[in-house]
Amino acid sequence: MCGILGVLRRSPSRDNAFSSEHLALLRHRGPDGQGAYSDGMVALGHTRLSIIDLSSLGAQPMSYAKGRYVITFNGKIYNYLELREELAAQGHAFASRSDTEVILAAYHAYGPSCVERFRGMFAFAIWDRGEQTLFLARDRCGERPLIYWQDEEQFIFASEFKALLPLLPSRPGLDPSAIDMFMHFQYVPEPFTLLEGVHKLPAAHTLTISTSDWRTSLKSYWDFESVSPSLGPPCDCIRAEFEKSITLALRSDVPVGVALSGGIDSSAIAALASKHYPEPMHAISVGYPGRPANDEREQARSLANRLGMIFHEVELPVGDFLDFFPQLVRILDEPIADPAAFCHYAVPKAASDLGIKVLLTGIGGDELFWGYDWVARAVRLNRIRTSLSGMPGGKILRSAILSSPAKFLAAWRTLPRALRNSLKTLRSACCPMTPENQLVFMTSNDDFNQAFRLKAGCYGPAMTVLPEETPFAPTKVSSQPSEKTDLAVLRLLFKTWLVSNCLTLGDRVSMSVGVETRIPFLDHRLIELVMGLRKHSPDHMLGHKAWLRQAMCGILPEEVLDRPKRGFEPPVWDWLSGVVRRYGRELRGGELEAAGITSRKGIDSLLENVNSLGWPGLFFVYKLVLLEQWVRLLVSDAGSRPIKI
């Protein structure tokens, strides 16, 4: 994994080269080397984490075709050996053993459509000196980041905000609509960002900009809803493709380890990876003082011993989190209020301390195999909603379901539980909060809904002009026609929670310590297979991860297959309440108040009553504290010392 940044100018410039000061902004992503390229029109920078071809031949920025193409690349192309062989047969020559050079040769051979041939994770920019165009691309699920800003004279991009912001001519303003999204989602769904004029290149998209007309062309190249139906026994097909994705992810010239919890996702990866790895693998697990019920270290250790793995554990005291919080804010690079962020950091940090530079993780298993009950429930709610809309008198029936008498009946304990639950389900399906042209999705999440109640009392003047539908802007993609409701719901999950929370968080915490995380569950061939199987045989009603459990029968012990989902469950109340007590006072007279995002009266009320507001209130205030710290530590500081090139 690496760090990339670049500047394209509309007109040539004599002073257009990155210095060591620029590159230092991304050194944590690539501590093994750095490089820069400049030709007056473009400047490309790179910090290298050496994983494939550790020699100087793999250094970047890398040129190809007698210098016509120059690339800065972050990621890994897992099928680079097969592509290299294919391209060599066409007459393309290679000077290195790196996957970077394979990208360049593929672009030379196939143009922008080369991305469709890559099996991996990537964010890269290729400067074509002949055509005077800059081509940027991001992988299908968005495992690797790419952020950009543009005006009439410059196009600037980078892997992280920390590197992008000092390159801008001035500090961007805060975007109130994106802040409102953050307060509902706990992250900012891409392509939105919290800063005006700053965008994320969406997953599965390319962007081309030409100096001749200065227009940007943004194109999508992949959508799992459009895959062809798959045939065959789900468990056999999934097992074979999943094992293939793991063998590809093991390609590395440095040691590979596994982030191991007690759940089925990481256990499945550990079992199959250790089978194909030539020596005992290292497994790393996280836990908490006193080994509470949510501590899974013993289950992880038991499986690791069974597989012959070398086991390591990390314990996370509450005090460590509170002291580390400001540093965690810097590491995250943008506010992500996932309470498990510190846990996700601790595992790659332990790997780094052990000299392990590549870590396999189980991210994506929950999203691919119905690991969240609320997502499967969203499918059922949307099917009910569609049925009600299509029947005669549907509008009248919907009004009756949402009426006060129906609300009373749904809460009346004298009624049989089954009837009450049915009424609650009907009322959820008819939820008036969800726009008519969207699927019922985020309103299935209590934290999303509670924000409507809590934000009203603390927002300042900058937030009063926002449309009511602002929180639903990221899910407007649900208006895209879909043949199957289950795939449409999963599309929303992938385009919001997975990419903007899980993958962004995973990238930042691992790259902060120079560790490359690889995610076998997000191999696009595996995703296409599973989605194609669902076109014939929907599985959302079969139970938690039914297909994955069936596929791992005979590979994992029964106690792992039958274990309830736990995942990272840190002592969140202690952690978040500690952060609010220690850092919450900075909300008074802080950056958010100065920008009109919050009001002093509202903040005073929240801080004084946070203990009586329960979890919704604590989590809401935590999001405000995190946002305030981010503006103070990253945005204000970066904007006060712009770096010119």
Burial code (b: 16+ CB inside 10 Å, e: under 16) for 120-140 equals bbbbbbbbbbeeebbbbbbbb
Structure token digits, residue 454: 């809590």
Exposure on the CB side of residue 226, measured as CA atoms within 13 A: 6
List the structure tokens of 39: 């030709």
CA distance linking residue 156 with residue 131, whole number of Å: 19
What pLDDT, on a 0 to 100 scale, did the predictor assign at position 74? Answer: 97
For the chain, helix, strand, coil in percent to 5 are 50, 15, 35
Q: Please report the pLDDT score of residue 639 as a whole number.
A: 47
Quick check: 34 and 20 in contact, CB under 8 A? yes
Amino acid at residue number 141 = C
User: Quick one: pLDDT at residue 388?
Assistant: 80
205 neighbors 221 (Cβ within 8 angstroms): yes
The identity of residue 26, as a single letter, is: L
Report whether 375 contacts 490 (CB < 8 A). yes
pLDDT tens, 306-362? 999 999 999 988 888 899 999 999 999 999 999 999 999 999 999 999 999 999 999
Q: Which pTM does this prediction carry? A: 0.94
Dihedral over alpha carbons 607, 472, 156, 161 (to 10 degrees): 30
CA distance 580 to 212: 51
Specify whether the CB–CB gap between 346 and 297 falls below 8 A: no
Calpha distance 326→629 (Å, rounded): 7
Handedness of CA 410, 544, 249, 82 (dihedral sign): negative
Tokens of 487: 């795939």
Q: In 3D, which of 275, 294, 274, 273 has the Cα closest to residue 285?
A: 294
Helix residue ranges per DSSP H, 114-194: 161-164, 176-185
pLDDT of residue 478: 56
Contact 78, 68 (CB under 8 A): no
pLDDT at site 85: 97
Q: Residue 317 CB: number of other CB atoms within 10 A?
A: 13
Residue 145 preceded by cis peptide, ω within 30 = no
What was the pLDDT predicted at 233?
A: 94
Unique residue bearing structure tokens 């143009």: 111
Q: What is the pLDDT of residues 61-118, one digit of tens each?
A: 999 999 999 999 999 999 999 999 999 999 999 999 999 999 999 999 999 999 999 9
Residue 147's SS3 state is strand
Distance CA 336, CA 186 (A): 6
597 with 460: CB under 8 angstroms? yes
Give me the phi and psi of 472, to 5 degrees please: -95, 0
Angle at 73 between CA 206 and CA 14, to 5 degrees: 90
| Burial (CB count within 10 angstroms: exposed 0-12, middle 13-18, buried 19+), residue 283 | buried
Looking at the domain 2-174+192-222, which fold is it? Glutamine Phosphoribosylpyrophosphate, subunit 1, domain 1 (3.60.20)
- Domain 229-362+492-561 CATH (choose: 3.40.630.10, 3.40.50.720, 3.40.50.460, 3.40.50.620): 3.40.50.620
Cα 283 to Cα 307: distance, rounded to the nearest angstrom = 10
CB 2 within 8 A of CB 73: yes
Q: 319-330 burial, b for 16+ CB within 10 Å, e for fewer?
A: eebbeebeebbb
Helix (H) / strand (E) element for 6: namely strand 2-9
What residue spans in the chain does CATH classification 3.60.20.10 cover? 2-174+192-222
CA distance readout (Å), 32 to 78, 183, 329: 21, 38, 24
Q: Is 225 left (phi over 0), alpha (psi -120 to 50) or beta?
A: alpha
What is the DSSP secondary-structure string of 362-417? Answer: -TTHHHHTT--HHHHHHHHHHHHHHHHHHSTTHHHHHHHHTSHHHHHHHH-TTS-H
CB of 625 closer than 8 Å to CB of 603: no
Looking at the chain, the domain(s) classified CATH 3.40.50.620 span: 229-362+492-561
d(CA 30, CA 46): 8
Whole-angstrom distance, CA of residue 553 vs CA of residue 104: 41
For residue 565, how many C-alpha atoms fall within 13 Å in the half-sphere facing its CB?
A: 14
Task: Report which secondary-structure segment, H or E, holds 360.
Answer: strand 358-360
3-class DSSP state of 188: coil
The tokens describing 62, both together, are: 């890398």
pLDDT of res. 640: 46
Residue position matching structure tokens 């129906």: 406
What is the pLDDT at residue 401? 77
Place of tokens 């790179």: 46
Report residue 27 as tokens.
């050194």
Report the pLDDT value the prediction gives residue 643, as an integer from 0 to 100.
Answer: 52
In the chain, which stretches have pLDDT less than 70? 15, 394, 408, 477-483, 565-569, 637-645
Beta bridge pairs of residue 619: none
Of the CA atoms within 13 Å of residue 388, those in its CB half-sphere come to: 22
